[in-house]
A and B are shown apart, each in its own frame.
Chain A
Amino acid sequence: MNIEIKDLQQGMVVASPVYNTQGLLLLNAGTELTDLNIKMLRSWGVGSVAIYDQEREKKGIKDTESDADKDIVSKLKAELMRKFEETPEHPAMQKIMDAAIYIIQKRVTAKR
């Protein structure tokens, strides 16, 4: 689950590695957050961090797309297809559209 920088708290455990703009590793997955490294993330302008969700794990909840997410994704997809509608067919444009759909979908899932 992605947590915004302002909501991060000491003791939370980082779920996936955090990098800065230059691709330098700031925090590794599994790091337990301290006040100091939260400050450090802020100074690097990191927007949000993937946090390991222990409650979820305990309850055995699996990561499945909720209906609400599916709804958002299909709306975003439709909007994107509309934007591409008037562009003439081109193999590269097809790739751009496919990648955009994939990335936008990923954003929605990551927000959860």
Chain B
Amino acid sequence: MNSKKLERIVTHIEDLPTLPTTVLKITELINNPKSSARDIANIITDDQVLTARLLKLVNSSFYGFPQKISTVTGAIVLLGFDAIRDLLLTTSIFDVFLTKNKAIKNDLERLWKHSLGCAIAAKIIGSYTKYDKLEELFVAGLLHDIGKVVEALFFPDDFSRIYSLVNQKKIRIFQAEEEVFGFTHADTGKLLAKQWNLPSKIASVIAQHHAKELTGRFIQEISIVHISDIICRALDLGSGGDNMIPSLNDHAWNILQMDADLIHEIMEKVDMEFRDLNFFA
């Protein structure tokens, strides 16, 4: 392992973009049945960008309210928790993928689309497998490849080299990472998860989403994101870096206890929702 580079990440970890704390707070609040519109409004108003996005949405001509809605609480009451949830989570995490570095901008954009696709797929698979915290699956999907963003931000040149290696040698991205760095995005993602103080469920998905071996408390979540990854690559939603499809881990498939005949329906839903949500690019 090229420990020098990993060490550099560890020592400069505070230079990483901070996770909009809003994301976790909103997830937590929405999962709590006692939350009120005001609790959520308090979090949103702390963030000017979110506030602006929400008010713009609720004042759009679609609603056709005769009066301008000028408060966040009003917006939440009118739109409902569910309707604002995905929008807020997605826009918050999207900001982390933004870069001004032209050399890696396109790759990160495609990675964003891949992550969004996985988030949607994880949520939809979760709903078919009666998973009760769909929002956590959505966030886990959005963040599963975040280690690649860490690499891109710390070592943009190496990151570009990894992409060219993948194309030249037709290898998987983690193989190119091993070659260039001596570690993979699962390792850098783990570091970031620690820095961001992510819940252990999401940290486990980031560290183990390749499902080489399934261990620990969160095999259900890891399995769902693993299958979401396969589905998004099959549907060409964005790009995780290489143009290949990982092998399905049979154990992961069995854990979900899902009827294979549902796959078609699930994938149609993923494709449709992706087109609806993918309005940032």
Contacts and interface: CB of A to CB of B under 8 A. Distances in A.
Chains A and B belong together in one complex: yes
Interface string A1-44: 00000000000000000011110101000000000110110011
Interface string B212-247: 000000000000000000110111100000011111
A66 B83 CA distance: 40
How extensive is the interface on chain A, given as a class? 35 or more
A25 B243 CA distance: 35
A3 to B, nearest CB: 14
A95 interface: yes
Contacts of A86: 244-245, 247
Given A98-B264, A99-B267, A83 B277 contact: no
B276 interface: yes
B279 interface: yes
B248 A93 contact: yes
Interface stretch (A55-63, A67-75, A100-108): A100-108
A99 B264 contact: yes
B179 interface: no
A18 to B, nearest CB: 10
B127 interface: no
B260 A43 contact: no
Contacts of B278: 47
B32 interface: no
B275 interface: yes
B198 to A, nearest CB: 25
Interface in A42-98: 43-47, 80, 83-84, 86-88, 90-93, 95-98
A100 B260 CA distance: 14
Nearest to A34: B61
B276 A96 contact: no
A23 to B, nearest CB: 9
Interface of B: 56-57, 60-62, 82-83, 86-87, 230-231, 233-236, 243-248, 250, 253, 260-261, 263-264, 267-268, 271, 273, 275-279
Interface of A: 19-22, 24, 26, 36-37, 39-40, 43-47, 80, 83-84, 86-88, 90-93, 95-100, 102-104, 107
